[in-house]
């Protein structure tokens, strides 16, 4: 029943919830608040056991085991406080507003006062234009002026409907970020899809025909100005054109993604407003539709603007983490509040937060005055892209010029799609890291951000050359005395700063961003090394019932678990405990977390697999006649399978895990201690206690960890 559509799920459960007022009752207005409840896997089959008795409307089923309910305002706070304590509830999150990330009226406006020509001409200084540099498409507006009628009509929306202007010099934003150099390497792929979660798209726009996959109209269920999936605002069509307008077709503009396609998911209404619930639902829909990149050109307001609806939203953040855990690059506008205060979704960990700049890479330049004084900046924006007087497709069949971080973000989303086309084996985190690593320094004269200016040419060339970010292409070997040996990646982040460990190190896990790692000792001590790994606690000094055997981290890097040989699980940071297997005689060898961090597997030395939270059991090796005990379990990137590793180097694959080989037949002559996945999950390394490493599948062979003869036995390998 609950696996069906939202409406059918709500109807089927309606008798279990508070009934509506009887016919003929006096009507009156009651202030309400909408909440989203996410259930865990244990409650998925019987949601009424958790949600029965809630006041208000019957809950509506949403993607991601989520239920939406609207409650009287006076009761919503009590439900939000009490419901999370019920077994089977992951979170209860209020629904809060989001809106388009368009520059304020007047900021960056083209107008008729010459500012557009002045700014574009100034931003193009230092460029020789597109001719003779890389690939030059034949779209007339790419390398020449456009409007007001020839070759196309260019509108200026901030000045009013139908107002037209001339956009000079061509698409200088694309020249500035190295688009011609990128196109010389790849023109993208129709198999790489970018989900645009926005006001919809006009699929009849001549340069978007056959380039748009019309997805669900998510906001239709709760917003009167969202009655159909098409764009009656213009914003979504503009964003989509920057990414996927037909290129080299002899008309209009070029799209940065060239052959890239867009998935249109409408989450904002015709006025450009929406909410976190619809945006989160759109993210789940985008992942299920195969999007490799998600573009979010919307934000909430910072707390200094709207203190009652600011800050992170648990439902929205869980959806973002779900997408990132499934290998999707999430790109978001940094906001247009001229502030370093956080806005969301841009400020969630792992999101590429995009500031708007001039074509010269200046963010919020002092000499631009109020025309450029809008983009958010500071440590919360990690990359900049052109976002001032950008030219793109418009929803009435014409073209338009707009400014805002809304339009800087799709430059980065399209760049991510080109990088993936150049090397389809790259994972989402690798693509994000590569874009950040190849960005150029910002030009002086404006506000600072945490990162640099987008260089899609350099990023695509690095991807084609398989110059994967070193921090994500290799492994760390960890010895029992805490020594760490790095192979095929950046220099190691160090070893514990202690001369004598109270207990030997037994496990290690890499930080999700590849910029650090955690080590765990047998007594429950935890060591966080590198800027990507924070210390959230440990059990050192506590009386444990058994030694620690394994460790796993949450996908956002803000928490981790420890498990003992007896099966007790301890959660730290944002990690939640979903269960333990504490029983006499148990010999747990290790653990692995699911991609969304809402479950984990434990494996015993006998090969038995124990699944908790949203982890599914795909099989065990306990029925086999094992030559040696199992020492580790490693999950696949999508969470639909796992590998078990034996001390003799035997590998057992379950679910969608592929068997790429094992070391058992090689007679390694040393105990195998663990496995680390290669980029993309299409291979793995096995590590031996004496420091030898065996590569299988796509895992690079011949990497050297400079371990030589390690000073202590190797106990773990992490990647």
Residue 613's nearest CA partner among 639, 634, 638 is 639
Q: How far apart are CA 152 and CA 49, in angstroms?
A: 59
Give the H/E segment covering residue 605: none
Q: Which of 40, 156, 173, 198 is catalytic?
A: 198
Asked if omega into 151 is within 30° of 0 (cis), the reply is yes
Q: Are 526 and 534 in contact (CB under 8 A)?
A: no
Q: Across the chain, how many H-helices and E-strands are there?
A: 12, 36
β-pair partners for 675: 686
Rounded to 10 degrees, the C-alpha dihedral 624/630/636/639 comes to 80
Q: How far apart are CA 418 and CA 461, in angstroms?
A: 10
Q: In what order do the strands lie in the sheet with 66-72?
A: 60-62, 66-72, 32-39, 89-94
Question: 179: which 2 tokens?
Answer: 């688009």
SS3 category, 602: strand
Residue 410's nearest CA partner among 329, 326, 349, 321 is 329
Q: Which of 235, 347, 480, 580 is catalytic?
A: 235
198 is catalytic: yes
Give the H/E segment covering residue 254: none
Give the H/E segment covering residue 574: none
235 is catalytic: yes
Q: Are 327 and 227 in contact (CB under 8 A)?
A: no
Q: How far apart are CA 9 and CA 494, in angstroms?
A: 52
Q: Which of 240, 297, 298, 406 is catalytic?
A: 406
Q: How far apart are CA 58 and CA 16, in angstroms?
A: 8
Q: What is the DSSP pairing of strand 672-677 with strand 683-688?
A: antiparallel
Task: For the chain, state the CA radius of gyration.
Answer: 27
Residues 6+ apart with CB under 8 A from 116: 110, 165, 167, 168, 389, 401
Q: How far apart are CA 210 and CA 63, in angstroms?
A: 27
Q: Are 573 and 589 in contact (CB under 8 A)?
A: no
Q: Is the dihedral of CA 400, 278, 429, 314 positive or negative?
A: positive
Q: Are 288 and 319 in contact (CB under 8 A)?
A: no
Residue 198's nearest CA partner among 299, 52, 129 is 299
18: how many CB neighbours lie within 10 A of its CB?
A: 13
Phi, psi of 687 (to 5 degrees): -115, 140
Question: 204: which 2 tokens?
Answer: 């009849």
Q: In which residue are the tokens 């901030």 written? A: 158
SS3 category, 257: coil
437: how many CB neighbours lie within 10 A of its CB?
A: 17
Buried b (16+ CB within 10 A) or exposed e, 551-565: bbbbbbbbbbbbbbb
Q: Are 560 and 576 in contact (CB under 8 A)?
A: no
Q: How far apart are CA 81 and CA 48, in angstroms?
A: 19
User: For the chain, what's the residue count?
Assistant: 719
72: how many CB neighbours lie within 10 A of its CB?
A: 13
Q: In which residue are the tokens 């019987």 written? A: 46
Active centre residues (catalytic): 198, 235, 406
């Amino acid at each position: 029943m609950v696996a069906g559509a939202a409406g059918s799920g709500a109807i089927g459960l309606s008798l279990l919830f508070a009934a509506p007022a009887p016919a003929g009752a006096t009507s009156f207005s009651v202030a309400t608040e909408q909440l989203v409840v996410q259930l865990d896997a244990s409650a998925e089959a019987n949601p009424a056991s958790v949600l029965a008795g809630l006041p208000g409307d019957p809950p509506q089923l949403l993607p991601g085991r989520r239920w939406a309910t609207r409650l009287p305002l006076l009761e919503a706070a009590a439900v939000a406080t009490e419901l999370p304590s019920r077994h089977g509830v992951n979170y209860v999150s209020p629904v809060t507003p989001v809106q388009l990330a368009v520059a304020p009226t007047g900021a960056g406006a083209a107008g008729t006062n010459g500012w557009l020509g002045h700014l574009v001409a100034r931003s193009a200084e230092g460029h020789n234009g597109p001719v003779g540099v890389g690939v030059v498409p034949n779209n007339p507006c790419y390398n020449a002026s456009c409007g007001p009628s020839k070759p196309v009509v260019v509108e200026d929306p901030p000045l009013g409907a139908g107002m037209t202007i001339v956009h000079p010099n061509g698409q200088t934003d694309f020249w500035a970020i190295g688009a011609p150099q990128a196109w010389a390497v790849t023109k993208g792929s129709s198999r790489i899809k970018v989900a645009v979660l926005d006001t919809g798209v006009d699929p009849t726009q001549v340069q978007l025909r056959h380039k748009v996959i019309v997805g669900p109209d998510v906001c239709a269920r709760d917003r009167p100005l969202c009655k159909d999936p098409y764009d009656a605002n213009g914003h979504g069509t503009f964003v989509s054109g920057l990414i996927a307008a037909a290129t080299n077709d002899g008309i209009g503009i070029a799209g940065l993604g060239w052959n890239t396609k867009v998935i249109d998911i409408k989450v904002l209404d015709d006025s450009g407003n929406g909410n976190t619930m619809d945006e989160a639902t759109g993210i789940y829909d985008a992942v299920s539709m195969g999007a490799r990149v998600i573009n979010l050109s919307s934000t909430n307001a910072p707390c200094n603007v709207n203190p009652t609806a600011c800050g992170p939203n648990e439902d929205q953040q869980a959806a973002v983490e779900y997408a990132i855990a499934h290998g999707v690059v999430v790109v978001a506008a940094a906001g247009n509040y001229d502030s370093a205060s956080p806005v969301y979704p841009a400020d969630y960990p792992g999101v590429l937060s995009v500031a708007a700049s001039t074509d010269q890479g200046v963010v919020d330049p002092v000499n631009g005055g109020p025309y450029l004084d809008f983009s958010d900046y500071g440590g919360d924006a990690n990359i900049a892209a052109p976002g001032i007087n950008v030219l793109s497709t418009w929803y009435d069949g014409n073209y338009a010029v707009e400014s805002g971080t809304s339009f800087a973000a799709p430059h980065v989303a399209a760049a991510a799609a080109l990088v993936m086309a150049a090397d389809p084996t790259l994972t989402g985190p690798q693509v994000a890291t590569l874009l950040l690593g190849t960005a150029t320094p910002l030009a002086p004269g404006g506000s600072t951000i945490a990162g640099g200016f987008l260089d899609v040419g350099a990023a695509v060339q690095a991807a084609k050359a398989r110059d994967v970010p070193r921090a994500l292409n290799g492994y760390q070997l960890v010895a029992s005395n805490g020594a760490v040996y790095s192979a095929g990646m950046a220099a190691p982040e160090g070893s514990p700063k202690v001369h004598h460990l109270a207990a030997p190190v037994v496990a290690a896990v890499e930080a999700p961003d590849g910029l650090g790692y955690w080590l765990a000792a047998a007594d429950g001590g935890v060591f966080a090394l590198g800027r990507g790994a924070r210390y959230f606690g440990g059990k050192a000094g506590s009386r444990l019932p058994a030694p620690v055997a394994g460790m796993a981290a949450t996908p956002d890097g803000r928490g981790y678990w420890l498990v003992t040989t007896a099966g007790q699980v301890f959660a730290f940071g944002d990690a939640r405990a979903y269960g333990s297997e504490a029983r006499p005689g148990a010999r747990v060898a290790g653990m692995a977390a699911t991609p969304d961090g809402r479950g984990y597997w434990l494996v015993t030395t006998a090969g038995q697999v124990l699944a908790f939270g949203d982890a599914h059991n795909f099989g065990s090796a306990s029925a086999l006649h094992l030559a040696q005990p199992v020492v580790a379990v490693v999950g696949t990137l999508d969470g639909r399978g796992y590998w078990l590793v034996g001390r003799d180097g035997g590998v057992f694959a379950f679910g969608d895990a592929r068997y790429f080989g094992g070391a058992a037949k090689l007679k390694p002559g040393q105990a195998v201690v663990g496995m680390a996945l290669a980029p993309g999950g299409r291979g793995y390394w096995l590590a031996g206690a004496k420091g030898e490493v065996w590569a299988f599948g796509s895992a690079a062979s011949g990497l050297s960890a400079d371990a030589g003869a390690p000073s202590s036995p190797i106990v773990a390998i992490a990647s």
